[in-house]
Structure 1
Amino acid sequence: MKIDIFTEIQDPQPWSEDHEHRRIQQTLEQARLADELGYGCFWLVEHHCGGEFSLSSAPELMLTAVAQQTKNIRVGHSAVLAPYRFNHPIRIAERAAYLDHLSQGRVEFGMARSTVPEWRLFNIPANEAREQMQQAFEMVPKMWTQDHFSYESEHYQIRDVSVVPKPYQKPHPPLWQACSSLTSFEQAGRNGVGALGVTLWAPPAQVKEWIDIYRAAVRSTQSPVGSFVNDQVAFFTFVHCAETDEEAMKNGAATAAAWYTSMAFTFFEAREAFMQTAAEEQAKMGDPAGGGLTGQFLRARAEHAEAPPNRAQIVIGRIMGGEQVSDEEVFDALREQDSLIVGSPETCRRKMEVYRDLGVDRLMCFQQVGGLPHEKVMKSMRLVGEMIASFE
């Protein structure tokens, strides 16, 4: 299992006059340190109008800066928002190829369909987002490998264009898809691209379900969207390492995890997103054609008595219902189900081994979270960095 870095470039209040500039510079400092310590990849998201939650509105620019200030670490675009009102496929292909040249071939390239608030912001119909992302996956690798490219669908009319530059990596960078449901993990597998998931709120058993359906789908893929299959699963979760478990808590780990949970559920409008995923899964279960691997899996699961919700699931349900839950209760519930990797090096190693044993190929350590002080984040990165060689 490779150990990576993942960031949203979070910028919680209270703000100083230069808060945005300072946070951007700190992120670059963290990227330089990650490169020195031997982390595998520096992953950066794309979000718009994120406020405190994320300053990462132009990841291709930030990743260019990271590439220019590092030597070995790969740069992960996780992930470009692919519906065309965010980013037209031609512009996606052009910018990613340029980044690949500027990084000397270090790009890991992902795409995502985004979520409800950003669809609304860019006037994207929710029922078209997955299809538009799929079509972008079908187009971008071909733009990179064909001298003349054409594509026509309800959304796109592209006729005999030559997209330049071509990527530095041949035939093209590894492809990834951001995933948050059984349907998306199956889609990534059928596309033959890597799966990027989040395990911050998911127990290991759920992570295993996602991995299993992805592996089944990728084994059966007949027409990968790229020139090769990228059979990898990566997950990000909150990681904070300190000399002792007590020091990790004193640094503000519980407050940071709870802050992120609250902010993420607000920014992503989690209740509506949950209902949308539930409706999608119901449609798969009732699909006369079977609903693919996801439909089969859901029907098989429904035949068995489901386990009662665990403490973390109950707490998350309370938050989505609008209830105020204390930081300590949120943190304890998530820690109880091994969703978080927080504590001493010994504690963190044990929790990291859980994800390795589940079959995770890349653990994306989410270390700059909430109000954790920059110097504590840097120390955590160093302590985790001492474990990297033992996981490779």
Structure 2
Amino acid sequence: MQFSMIFEAQLADPTPERERRLLHDCVEQAVYGEAMGFDRVWAVEHHGLERYAHMSASEVFLTWVAAKTSTIRIGHGVVCMPFNYNHPVRVAERVGMLDALSGGRLDVGGGRGSTRMEMGMCGVNPSDTYPQLVEGLRFLAGAWQKEQVDWHTDLLDVGPAKILPRPVQTPHPPLYMACSKRDTVVMAAELGVGALVMGFAGPEEVKEMYDLYHATVRTRTGEKLVSTEVNDKFVALCPTIVLDDGPKALKIGTRGQRFFAESIAHWYGHGPVPREDTEDDDNIAALAKDKEDLVAKLNEANIPARPQDTGAFNAEHAYGTPQQAIEYVERLAEIGVDEVMCLIQMGTVPQEACMETIRHWGETVIPHFRAG
């Protein structure tokens, strides 16, 4: 099993000065992650989502991290693939450049960039997002298969042309896809790309997603595969804060998760701006109440309350001491998860708590799973 970290670059009380400090803090965490034995860092791509994600140019962030490290892999988790966000040729060029500069350390995930804010900013038609996501992945897989790319479909007309520079990893870096619901888990398996799965709902939901993914892998016909290089890796998110003081870690972690959950509700569900002055609140109770309120609203609208809708309000994660984190990760290991993707940097979590968490994972949690 491998271990990684994901960066949204979340920011409570945003100001330009705090934003700049945040970005450098994220780089510091990523570099420290290499020293502590993490295998990979992932960076999201979002646009205009203040507080929730200030990571709008993840290729620049990942390049900065790559220049300061030598072994840790760097991953787009994920590139917004609809063409008005990123034209497929530009994605391929950036992938080739970053893979070459990093010495072949790049992983690439694709996603829809599906908030109304982002689609409106970039002129993306919602109905185009899935077809262009799949087309973008196919194009990326084929960009270097021949000396020149000559690509002509109903969605994309390119070439004959050369995509330069060429990546170190041939024919392309490993491909992944963001998976927040069952339909996208099935799609990732059919396309032959790794699944980056939100794990907020807990191990039970992760297991259902894992079983669905691998059931689809076993029964797929191969006609939808985007590449000759198949990647059947299953990656699950793991929110975590680990400190010597377990109760303090729980308090900091659940406060950060509340900020994360309320940010999701704000940008994806038109909820209020996330609350920031929550240090003295019972954030576990607040998350439970928010879940109850959401379920009630869905019931009123005759909409089933699915785990992917309510999962962000589940506070039972790897918050506490190193031993408590080990016990949580053991549940993911029993499922068969290939990679645990740690969510540490949340909007209200101080830098010192992030760094101590990375240290505890590196000194205790990761070695526990590598000892065998």
Q: TM-score range by the shorter chain?
A: 0.7 to 0.9
- Tell me, yes or no, if the aligned pair for 2:7 and 2:43 is still in contact at 8 Å: yes
- Alignment partner, residue 389 of structure 1: 367
For 1:100, the aligned partner's letter is D
C-alpha distance after superposition, 1:199-238 (max 9, x if no partner): 11x2322222211121122232514312311111111131
In structure 2, what is the Cα distance between the partners aligned to 1:125 and 1:231?
Answer: 30
In structure 1, what is the Cα distance between the partners aligned to 2:29 and 2:188?
Answer: 30
- Alignment partner, residue 345 of structure 2: 368
- Tell me, yes or no, if the aligned pair for 2:36 and 2:361 is still in contact at 8 Å: no
The reply on whether 1:50 has 2:49 as its aligned counterpart is: yes
Change (3 A) 1:187 1:179: same
C-alpha distance after superposition, 1:134-156 (max 9, x if no partner): 11111111112221222223321
Deviation at 1:315, TM superposition (A): 4.1
- Look up the SS of the partner of 2:347 in the other structure: coil
Deviation at 1:14, TM superposition (A): 5.7
- Look up the SS of the partner of 1:18 in the other structure: helix
CA RMSD of aligned residues (A): 2.3
In structure 2, what is the Cα distance between the partners aligned to 1:359 and 1:218?
Answer: 15
- Look up the SS of the partner of 2:144 in the other structure: helix
For structure 2, which runs of at least 5 residues remain unmatched after alignment?
A: 272-285, 299-309
- Alignment partner, residue 274 of structure 1: none
Deviation at 1:128, TM superposition (A): 1.8
For 2:238, the aligned partner's letter is T
- Alignment partner, residue 314 of structure 2: 334
- Look up the SS of the partner of 2:110 in the other structure: strand
- Look up the SS of the partner of 2:314 in the other structure: helix
- Tell me, yes or no, if the aligned pair for 2:77 and 2:110 is still in contact at 8 Å: yes
In structure 1, what is the Cα distance between the partners aligned to 2:312 and 2:232?
Answer: 34
C-alpha distance after superposition, 1:286-338 (max 9, x if no partner): xxxxxxxxxxxxxxxxxxxxxxxxx988843524749xxxxxxx999623xx4
The reply on whether 1:377 has 2:357 as its aligned counterpart is: no
1:316 corresponds, among 270, 291, 296, to: 291
Deviation at 1:159, TM superposition (A): 3.0
- Alignment partner, residue 259 of structure 2: 259
The residue correspondences of 1:242-321 to structure 2 (distance < 5 A) are 242-250=243-251, 252-269=252-269, 315-316=290-291, 318-319=293-294, 321=297
For 2:327, the aligned partner's letter is R
Deviation at 1:4, TM superposition (A): 0.8
- Alignment partner, residue 282 of structure 2: none
C-alpha distance after superposition, 1:243-294 (max 9, x if no partner): 13212135x22211111100112122379xxxxxxxxxxxxxxxxxxxxxxx
The reply on whether 1:30 has 2:29 as its aligned counterpart is: yes
- Look up the SS of the partner of 1:363 in the other structure: strand
In structure 2, what is the Cα distance between the partners aligned to 1:59 and 1:332?
Answer: 23
For structure 1, which runs of at least 5 residues remain unmatched after alignment?
A: 272-310, 323-329
In structure 2, what is the Cα distance between the partners aligned to 1:236 and 1:210?
Answer: 12
Change (3 A) 1:257 1:150: same
- Look up the SS of the partner of 1:144 in the other structure: coil
Please report the TM-score for the alignment, with normalisation by the length of structure 2.
Answer: 0.86
Percent identity reads 29
For 1:268, the aligned partner's letter is Y
- Tell me, yes or no, if the aligned pair for 2:258 and 2:313 is still in contact at 8 Å: no
C-alpha distance after superposition, 1:60-104 (max 9, x if no partner): 011000000011100011110000000011101000110001111
Change (3 A) 1:383 1:136: same
Change (3 A) 1:25 1:134: same
For 2:90, the aligned partner's letter is R
For 1:237, the aligned partner's letter is C
C-alpha distance after superposition, 1:8-29 (max 9, x if no partner): 01111164x6212111111111
For 1:127, the aligned partner's letter is S
- Tell me, yes or no, if the aligned pair for 1:7 and 1:44 is still in contact at 8 Å: yes
